[in-house]
Amino acid sequence: MKRLLKICFDLTLLSFIPILSWFLLSIIVDKNLINVFTLIYPIQFVWLMFKSIFSVSPNIGHKEDKDKNAVMNGIVIGTIVGFIFFGFVILNINSYINFMNMDINIYKNFAIYSLIQLFIQLVFQFIIEKLYYENKNSLANKYSITFALINFLVLITSAILFKNQIVIISITLLSILLYTVYILIRNTKKFKFNLNILKYIKYDSTELFNNLSFFIIFLFGLSAVMNFDPKYILSLTFIALITDTQWDIFESISEVAKIDIASGHFNYKKHRKNAYRLLTLLLAFITILFIGLYDFYNLDIIITLIFLSFELINFIIYPIYKLKTCFLQLEYSPLVTTSNKILSNILRFSFSFWPTPFCTGLGQVASSLYQLLTLNFLFSEKYVINKKGYIEKKEVEELCFN
């Protein structure tokens, strides 16, 4: 549980600080800036795809296949690919904002800021992930705290001192860029360059295709929601803001599970117990945020509670199928688990075309229930959990007929 909380702490900082920043920027600079979070939300799943391909997979490959060059190759290639992708989106930012049915004049500057910040944070996360797999969680915590504080304090101080948005953005981005470069230099090792990292995608292919699907789902789903009454957009943004950090934190159960599975020390019951302990804390935090921030927005209570109910259902069932997904991915069949995830996301994507502002939430619940049923079936066909919580292969019983 202690290691889980350390990783949670890092994810909390990297997720909550940007959300808190948008809240404060909407007060200090422009009330509309709170919607930049929703505008850029689909791009976050591309960020997670790059993390999966160039960070998680190479780190597992380093442990599983003893490839000492995998991690550094992932960092270098991931940085280059990330630079190309985020640069392309920035060059076409007007088209992107138009597609999301939002105002270019209001959102362009801080949309660009958010994209550059995501790129810098991606490179920073490559280093943090490397430290996780080296069991240097305390050092990762130290780096994460410093990065979050620099990002938050410089941004908000600049917003208070300067009226010009370009000045605010430039000072903040330069600050976190310099710190990231410093951390990168401190943790760089000599390595032999190759493209072998592509063969390690299998170790995290489920998450890769999951995030690709989510990018498509939210790109079209949020674009569709923007066409409805603004009260739906406001409620959706509010619920996303008070739950998104919790989802990022909750993903730590997957991080820890993969590390233990790759190391041969995975105890399902222990991980599940810790997951629900963590969930209790997260739900308490969501309740506090809901009560504390509700009066700052002119929200429709019924619409807001409907969006919240979708999130709560998914939180409750997530640990059950997620832990089994991680195990089956690494120990049984990456192809089977990835294919199952693709099917669940096709189901979820189909809801994006429903003519309702609740399409994304309904699709999320349907996808989770599908995974809960199918993964429990796949798992029970091949494995059992013993009394101590460890997973064992089922013994094949042969009937002999005389």
Tens-level pLDDT at each residue, the chain (402 residues): 665 555 556 566 666 777 778 888 888 988 788 788 888 889 988 998 999 888 888 887 777 667 787 888 889 999 999 999 999 999 999 999 998 888 899 899 999 999 999 999 999 999 998 888 888 878 888 898 899 899 999 999 999 999 899 999 999 999 999 999 999 999 888 888 777 767 777 777 777 777 887 788 778 777 766 777 778 878 888 888 888 878 877 878 887 888 888 778 889 899 999 889 989 988 998 998 898 888 877 788 999 999 999 999 999 999 988 888 888 888 888 888 888 888 888 888 888 777 788 888 898 899 999 999 999 998 888 888 898 888 888 775 443 444
Q: 47 in helix, strand or coil?
A: helix
Q: Is residue 402 part of a domain?
A: no
Alpha carbon 337 to its chain centroid, in Å, reads 19
Q: With contact defined as beta carbons under 8 Å apart, do 115 and 90 qualify?
A: yes
What pLDDT, on the 0 to 100 scale, is given for residue 150? 94
pTM, entire model: 0.71
341/323 Cα distance (integer angstroms): 14
pLDDT given for residue 169 in this prediction: 95
For residue 325, what are its two tokens? 């997904």
Contact 165, 29 (CB under 8 A): yes
Residue 295 belongs to a domain: yes
Say how far apart CA 74 and CA 197 lie, in whole Å: 6
Q: Report helix, strand or coil for 401.
A: coil
Q: How many CB atoms lie within 10 A of CB 182?
A: 12
Does residue 401 fall inside a structural domain? Answer: no
Element (H, E) at 391: strand 391-393
Which residues are CB-contacts of 4 (< 8 A; sequence separation ≥ 6)? 252, 253, 256, 274, 278
Residues 50, 188 contacting (CB under 8 angstroms): no
**Which pLDDT belongs to residue 210?**
75
Give the count of alpha carbons within 13 A of 391, CB side only: 25
- Give domain status of residue 400, yes or no: no
- Residue whose tokens read 């404060």: 24
Q: Which residue has the tokens 């969680």?
A: 137
Q: What is the pLDDT of residue 24?
A: 86
H or E segment to which residue 23 belongs: helix 2-28
> For position 66, what pLDDT does the model report?
74
- Please tell me the predicted confidence (pLDDT) of residue 13: 62
Q: In this structure, what token pair is assigned to residue 372?
A: 């809960």
Q: CA angle 91-94-98, nearest 5°?
A: 145
In a domain, 142, yes or no: yes
Q: Give the model's pLDDT for residue 309.
A: 94
In the chain, the number of structural domains is: 1
pLDDT of residue 249: 79
Phi, psi of 392 (to 5 degrees): -130, 150
Boundaries of domain holding 324: 2-391
- 314 occurs within a structural domain: yes
Kindly state whether residue 399 falls inside one of the protein's structural domains. no
Instruction: Answer yes or no: is 18 within a domain.
Output: yes
Q: Identify the pLDDT of residue 398.
A: 41
Amino acid 55: pLDDT: 86
Q: How far is CA 55 from CA 51, 160, 242, 346, in A?
A: 5, 36, 27, 26
Angle between helices 230-250 and 36-51 (to 10 degrees): 30
Side-chain-facing half-sphere of 388: CA atoms under 13 Å: 6
pLDDT of 34: 78
